[in-house]
A and B are shown apart, each in its own frame.
Chain A
Amino acid sequence: MSELLIELFSEEIPARMQSRASEDLRNLVCNGLEKAGLAIGTAKAFVTPRRLTVVVEDIPATTPDIVDERKGPRTDAPERAIEGFLKSAGVTLDDCITGEDKKGQFYIARIEKPGKPTTEILAELIPEIIQKFPWPKSMRWGTGSLRWVRPLHSIICILDGQPVEFEIAGIKSGNQTIGHRFMGPDTITVSSFGQYKTALADQFVMLDAGERISFIQSEAEKLAKSSSLQLIDDQGLLKEVSGLVEWPVVLMGEFDASFLEVPPEVVVTTIKAHQKCFCLKDADGKLANKYLLVSNMIARDGGKKIIEGNNRVIAARLSDAKFFWDQDKKTPLENRLPELKKITFHARLGSQRKRVKRLEKLSTDIARIIGANEEKTRLAARLCKADLVTGMVSELPELQGLMGKYYALAEGLDNDVAIALGDHYKPQGPSDAVPQNLIAQTVSLADKIDTLAGFWAMDEKPTGSKDPYALRRAALGIIRIIEENSLRLPLLKILDDQIAASPGLTDDEADSKAIARDLLSFFADRLKVHLRDRGMRHDLIDAVFGLGDQDDLLMIIKRVQALGEFLDTDDGKNLLAGVKRAVNILRIEEKKDGQKHDGNPLPNLLVLGEEKELHRAVTAAMAQTINAVKTEDFASAMTALARLRKPVDEFFDKVTVNADDPNFRDNRLKLLNRIREATLSVADFSRIEG
């Protein structure tokens, strides 16, 4: 059993592609070996900015021998046919056995294929993997035609310490590599993974990305602590930075404290986005004027010059930011509105200026419904995109919204309005919080509803995995804002109005109401996904939407919850079975008769105790559920329905629906219809599974 070690050494691989690439390489190697019939042991993948490495343990030296059997002609076939068969199979008659079926005996050629040396398998497999490697973006270089993420320089492929030889695009595989670009340029000859990893460490390459991450983290925490500061945690940045160095060295730099006048998020974003450095905070959580950088060098002066250089770049970046902060504050947000004409939201949906006008109206409408202050909401909606034309947001687009808030506060606007400007993009993903403030909620709802309505009006909906405008996220955001804040917002009319008024609706004949219904069904789909994550059944949501024109998301969720709880009880399960049975019988009989059996059953035709009892119970339950639903007390509605279980069960036990007397039959079918009607005030039970 041997160890396989592969290293593909190239120029710097983009940090964001590294971990995926190393896993891809491991999987491709393992799959290739297994496909060749080799049983292999543990495989591990490693990656640094310059190398992808895979080690696989316990690989047999050859693939197992295999015998192919091929069915030939009958044993009494003409000699020439048999000879032809032997020739094509490459065997003699001695290699054949005979088999038998209904028609008689026939030859079976046994073609023995001895196992192939694993080295041969590898010499074919690895070049093939390199040629077809799934880089998200790859390139050619020099005069060659091979594609790799950046020029590929060398390949290690050793099995059991011995090089496996092959050549691809002029690169010969071997057993040599080099260490750190500046600190370990010596050639390393490799004989095993263990020796490889140690030799690399001697040449200042930390092979394991996880090791680099935890090293950076602990060094950073240590350094921060030595200045009585705390690291501002940023796992994404940590991972990225670990992909930019082979030998991390954490150093502390600083910037002028006067830059702390700029909002802290601006400082953090500037330092992170442009310089990939970590910010620090003091014991009170306040941003410090020190930061941590991760260098790839143990500098001879202990990093003095590296820190100086980074300080200078960060100072220049922060003075840019401070310049924008000071400049931007000179223009009130209100005065920036005309400039929004220059920003196209979408070619067919017009500029941000037009959009803001729509948002003003829509936000005020929503404010009226959910009880937010209309004046403040209108102002917030009016100014919510104004920061897009500030210098700061042009430079750091990820600060949109937040800068609106800071500039609003700086010019002394109402606090709620400022918060709304800052929070109206929220939630920006399933893990992001929804806005807390009612005005922010209102503007956020309007922002998302207008987007959805516009794209629906243009008939540009998400398809499959394609959702370039994040419309699913917008719909989910609306659902979460409504649910988490218990807002009552009938959506259908709002959607209809917004679609009808959208510049995206170019077809005069288009039926905005039908488009709004389609959009509502998109919400239903998002709601299913949202509730499924909490273990809620999607068929219950269908059952509630099946009632038609259900557009109050909060009530839908409440109904679904109550229904779910009810169906978990014995009463619920049995009643569901009873209702389904009733609905089935009705469907079949109504089809047979070609007529409906609706209307009230006649009391004088109810003769058996069980049907009398059912009639009484249904009438009572119906009144109770309707009342309960009116007061949105879905639990009570379910309790009222639960009382139907016993009479329904006993009815089916004792009463023959298809009575010989057509009058009795019609009356009993009408009774079944009443069961369906009683449940329909809560949900369409026929859409519930099970």
Chain B
Amino acid sequence: MSTTGLQPTRSFQDLILTLHQYWAAYGCVILQPYDMEVGAGTFHPATTLRSVGSKPWKAAYVQPSRRPGDGRYGENPNRVQQHHQYQVILKPSPIDLQDLYLGSLKAIGIDFDHHDIRFVEDDWESPTLGAWGLGWEVWCDGMEVSQFTYFQQVGGLECQPVSGELTYGLERLAMYVQGVDSIYDLNFNGAEGDQKMTYGDVFLQSEQEHSRYNFEQANTKMLFAHFTDAETECKSILDAGKTDGRHLMALPAYDQCIKASHIFNLLDARGVISVTERQSYILRVRELAKGCCEAWAKTAGGGYQEGKND
């Protein structure tokens, strides 16, 4: 047991709390998950928008991430339609980012005398966000435990300064440090006996129900309409928020962009988007993301200063 009383190798929630402590000690703001459905922690405005513009930023948070196509009705030990990402965003990226990251692995109980940690090339690109970066997937004994990315462009805008993004796949990491082969066997609360709650106790039913919904029930006709609604709303917010100087509604516009992106994922999982249409949907979401990032660059959070930037 560590001095904090947390047991990251025995409890899913202690793993999260340990990371919170570690990154809080480094000076990150510890945020809550964004309250919308997203496919990855990167979509949280604390990453997408905050990586645009000149203002420094340090944040860490957990983001439940939905991948409707990965649902397996709770029957596959590794694949789920919703998993949790631990996301750290540091802007500008510190020169010792790799060491900081390794320090966090040590904090959650991975000892480097017995494990093989490797940085394997993995360039990151999000066509829907108009974003790309270079980095690695981090392997621990052959298993990918994190994504490590230096953002170069977001929403079509050059990142200046560059943000460093760390994304930990929490379930995988927990399975690894707890030594279990099925996600559902993870000890969630660290208790034993009848007090013990497993990941299955918490999420199995959700996996089953959402898989049913995603693959069989989702009303695709309605979803197509929702997509268009979100797209229209995003554009009109972007228009309405525009002034000669700062933009007044970048964040609400971005919410609609998130929505459109997620609906696209749902439709894609249902296999109702053809290959050619797929590209055009991606482009439509990217246009929204681009508009939102450009708007954000004209807000205080994006480093905009009235009178100075024009």
Contact = CB atoms under 8 A, between A and B. Distances in A.
Interface stretch (B80-88, B136-144, B199-207, B228-236): B136-144
A150 B120 CA distance: 12
Interface stretch (A1-9, A294-302, A645-653): A294-302
B142 A309 contact: yes
B275 A314 contact: no
B143 A295 contact: no
Contact of B113 (A11, A300, A314, A343): A300
B78 interface: yes
Contacts of B306: none
Contacts of A552: none
A150 B123 CA distance: 11
A20 B200 CA distance: 49
A431 interface: no
A456 B155 CA distance: 37
A191 interface: no
Contacts of A299: 113-116
B152 interface: yes
Contact of B161 (A142, A305, A309): A142
Contact of A142 (B93, B134, B274): B93
B141 A142 contact: no
A150 B95 CA distance: 11
A244 B94 CA distance: 24
Interface stretch (A57-65, A133-141, A568-576): A133-141
Contacts of B119: 11-12, 49
A244 B123 CA distance: 16
Given A143-B92, A299-B113, A313 B118 contact: no
Contact of B150 (A16, A151, A295): A151
A185 to B, nearest CB: 10
Nearest to B133: A139
A316 B135 CA distance: 25
A297 B93 contact: no
A543 B217 CA distance: 68
A308 B141 CA distance: 8
A310 interface: yes
B121 interface: yes
A244 B116 CA distance: 11
A680 interface: no
Interface in A106-132: none
B238 interface: no
Contact of A182 (B78, B112, B120, B141): B112
A403 to B, nearest CB: 20
Contact of A141 (B77, B93, B274): B93
Nearest to A171: B95
Interface string A364-396: 000000000000000000000000000000000
Contacts of B160: 140
Contact of B275 (A137, A182, A316, A342): A342
A312 interface: yes
Interface residue range, chain A:
35 or more
A543 B181 CA distance: 69
A619 interface: no
Interface residues of B, number: 41
Given A316-B78, A343-B275, A309 B115 contact: yes
Contacts, number: 110
A344 B276 contact: yes
Contacts of A495: none
A141 B140 contact: no
A562 interface: no
Contacts of B112: 182, 297
Contacts of A297: 112, 115-116
A141 B116 contact: no
B91 to A, nearest CB: 9
B98 interface: yes
Contacts of B134: 137-139, 149-150
Contacts of A347: 276
B183 to A, nearest CB: 11
Given A11-B98, A137-B123, A139-B133, A296 B116 contact: yes
Interface string A132-173: 000001111111000001110100000000000000000000
A306 B141 contact: yes
A15 interface: yes
A151 B98 CA distance: 10
Nearest to B120: A244
Nearest to A13: B121
B162 A310 contact: no
A344 B280 CA distance: 14
Interface in A273-316: 275, 277, 293, 295-297, 299-301, 304-306, 308-310, 312-316
A90 interface: no
A309 B118 contact: no
Interface string A582-612: 0000000000000000000000000000000
Interface in B147-174: 150, 152, 159-162, 164
Nearest to A16: B121
B271 to A, nearest CB: 7
A14 interface: yes
Interface string B270-307: 01001110000000000000000000000000000000
B152 A139 contact: yes
A140 B142 contact: no
A497 B191 CA distance: 73
A412 B43 CA distance: 48
A141 B115 contact: no
B117 interface: yes
Contacts of B271: 342
A143 B116 contact: no
Nearest to B121: A14
Contacts of B95: 141-142, 151, 153
Contacts of B76: 323
Given A16-B121, A244-B120, A142 B114 contact: no
B176 interface: yes
A491 to B, nearest CB: 31
A142 B92 contact: yes
A15 B113 contact: no
Interface in B98-139: 98, 112-121, 123, 133-136
Contacts of A293: 142
A150 to B, nearest CB: 7
Contacts of B181: 312, 315-316
Contacts of B121: 12, 14-16
Interface in A556-574: none
Contact of B116 (A15, A139, A295, A323): A295
Nearest to A297: B116
Nearest to A11: B98
Nearest to B275: A344
Nearest to A300: B113
Nearest to A153: B95
Interface in A304-337: 304-306, 308-310, 312-316, 320, 323
Contacts of A151: 93, 95, 97, 150
8 contacts: A151-B93, A151-B150, A295-B116, A296-B117, A299-B114, A309-B143, A313-B141, A316-B77
Given A11-B98, A141-B162, A142-B93, 6 more contacts: A16-B121, A140-B152, A141-B150, A309-B141, A316-B78, A316-B181
Interface of A: 11-12, 14-16, 49, 137-143, 149-151, 153, 181-182, 244-245, 275, 277, 293, 295-297, 299-301, 304-306, 308-310, 312-316, 320, 323, 342-344, 347
Pick the 7 closest A-B CB pairs, nearest first. A309-B141, A14-B121, A12-B119, A310-B142, A295-B116, A344-B275, A143-B161
